Amino acid sequence: MADLDKLYEAILTGKLNVAKEVTNEAIAENIDPHLIINNYMSRAMEDIGKRFEEGKAFVPELLMAARAMKGALDLLKPQMKGAASHSQGKVVIGTVKGDLHDIGKNLVASMLEGCGFEVINLGTDISSEKFINALKENQAQILCLSALLTTTMNYMQEVIKALEENGLRSQVKVMVGGAPVSESFARQIGADGYSDNANAAVTLAKSLLSA
């Protein structure tokens, strides 16, 4: 039996190999990837975040945890594909300029992919020009913007402005998220939707496209 508490512990303490080992065991046992991510992996990242905020963990520990999280998530990604038989729509996603946090954004991307969306994941530190080019190139219907810093969240508004300037605003639904982002901030900058977790992001994406 895969010991998922060991997976939680491995991410919390940044042990990549143990995290991968337990994840592979869980995959072999057909355990639902969403359960693994929501109940164990995300919880470990939340808890290392709390430790960091309390001064009990430091940047190297965060990086190790992030690496273990990413390693385990990469193994689970293919398990989440193929649930839907046809594409739900195209999504361009990225973390905005100046911001290097990508764990939450990658979770959102994986959940969307797992639920049948085609996802173009641009990475981190993405300028409005890059977002616009990717939207045009892929004719995507949804743009997902992530920011984890209070200093970078304002850049989301610049991206929305750039959409307007490029005549794309009416064709693209904009979803925003990340720890400092809120529903009221989303409304204030003119986004179409906000969610504080990856599961709700999928529901939101579906409802925006059916609206």
Q: Which of positions 29-48 make contact with ligand B12 (CB under 6 A)? A: 42, 45
Stretch that binds ligand B12, among 18-26, 83-91, 113-121, 189-197 (CB under 6 A): 189-197
The CA distance from 167 to 154, in Å, is: 21
Q: How far is CA 181 from CA 44, 55, 168, 197, in A?
A: 21, 23, 23, 11
Through-space distance between the first and last CA atoms of the chain, rounded to whole angstroms? 44
The CA distance from 109 to 142, in Å, is: 12
In whole angstroms, how close is the CB of 186 to ligand B12 at the nearest point? 9
The CA distance from 124 to 99, in Å, is: 6
Nearer to ligand B12, 31 or 192 (CB): 192
Tell which one of 78, 164, 180, 187 touches ligand B12 (CB under 6 A): 180
Residue 107: how many other CB atoms lie within 10 Å: 22
Tell which one of 14, 89, 94, 178 touches ligand B12 (CB under 6 A): 178
Nearest C-alpha neighbor of 198 from the set 116, 119, 126, 110: 110
Q: Which of positions 75-114 make contact with ligand B12 (CB under 6 A)? A: 98-105, 107-108
Nearer to ligand B12, 122 or 175 (CB): 175
Stretch (H or E) spanning 127: none
Q: Is 54 in the site for ligand B12 (CB under 6 A)?
A: no
Q: Which of positions 141-160 make contact with ligand B12 (CB under 6 A)? A: 144-146, 148-151
The CA distance from 107 to 133, in Å, is: 23
Stretch that binds ligand B12, among 13-21, 22-30, 162-170, 190-198 (CB under 6 A): 190-198
Q: How many residues bind ligand B12 (CB under 6 A)?
A: 37
Binding interface with ligand B12 (CB under 6 A)? 42, 45, 49, 52-53, 59, 62-63, 66, 98-105, 107-108, 144-146, 148-151, 175-180, 195-198, 201
